[in-house]
Chains A and B, each alone.
Chain A
Amino acid sequence: MSSLKVFPAGSDREAEKAQQAKRVGNAQTTERFDVPVIVDEHRCIKGCHICIDSCPVDCLSVNPATTKAHMQFDECWYCLACEVDCPTDAITVKIPFLVR
Chain B
Amino acid sequence: MNQRETEVDVIVVGGGSAGSTAALRAQKDLPVGRVMLLEKAHVKRSGAIAIGMDGLNNAVIPGHATPEQYVKEITMANDGIVNQRAVLAYAERSYDMIQQLDRWGVKFQKTQTGDFDVKKVHHNGSYVLPMPEGYDLKKILTRLLRRSGVRVNNRVMATRLLTAPDGSIAGVVGLNVRDGAVEVIRARAVILCCGASGRLGLPASGYLYGTYENPANAGDGYSLAYHAGAELTGIECFQINPLIKDYNGPACAYVTGPLGGHTVNARGHRFIESDYWSGQMMLEFYRELQSENGPVYLKLNHLAPETITEIERVLHRTERPSRGRFHAGRGHKYGEDLVEMHISEIGLCSGHSGSGVWVDERGATTAPGLYAAGDMACVPHNYLLGAMTYGEICAESALHHLRSGSAWTEDAAARDGIATQIAAEQARLAAPLARPRGIPHHQYEYKVRRLVNDYLQPPKTANRMHIGLQHFLRAQEELDNEVGASSPHELMRFVEAGFIRDCAEMAARASLYRTESRWGLYHYRLDYPEIDDDNWFVHVNLRKDAAGNMEALKRPVAPYVVPLDQTERRSYYRIRIPTGDVAAPSLAAGAPIGPEATAS
Contact = CB atoms under 8 A, between A and B. Distances in A.
Interface of A: 25-28, 53-58, 72-73, 75-81, 84-85, 93-96, 98-100
20 contacts: A26-B484, A28-B437, A53-B44, A54-B44, A56-B214, A57-B214, A58-B177, A58-B178, A58-B489, A78-B322, A78-B325, A79-B214, A84-B51, A84-B321, A93-B322, A93-B325, A95-B326, A96-B210, A99-B248, A100-B326
B205 A81 contact: no
A94 B247 CA distance: 12
Given A26-B437, A95-B325, A57 B207 contact: no
B46 A56 contact: yes
Q: How large is the interface on B (under 10, 10 to 19, 20 to 34, 35 or more residues)?
A: 35 or more
A55 B439 contact: no
Nearest to A98: B207
Interface of B: 40-42, 44-47, 50-51, 154-155, 177-178, 205-211, 214-216, 246-248, 320-322, 325-326, 329-330, 437-440, 484, 489, 492
A56 to B, nearest CB: 4
A81 B210 contact: no
Contacts of A56: 41-42, 45-47, 50, 214, 216
Counting from the closest, the 7 A-B pairs by CB-CB distance are: A81-B45, A98-B207, A56-B41, A54-B45, A78-B322, A56-B50, A53-B42
A75 B215 contact: yes
B296 to A, nearest CB: 19
Contacts of B484: 26
A94 B214 CA distance: 17
A90 B48 CA distance: 25
A50 to B, nearest CB: 9
A53 B329 CA distance: 28
A25 B434 CA distance: 13
Contacts of B210: 77-78, 96, 98-99
Contacts of B44: 53-54, 85
Contact of B246 (A76, A77, A79, A99): A99
Contact of A81 (B51, B211, B326): B51
A94 B322 CA distance: 9
Contacts of B329: 95, 100
A81 B210 CA distance: 15
Given A75-B209, A79-B51, A85-B45, 16 more contacts: A26-B437, A53-B154, A54-B44, A55-B41, A56-B46, A58-B40, A58-B41, A58-B178, A73-B489, A75-B208, A75-B215, A79-B50, A84-B51, A96-B210, A99-B246, A100-B326
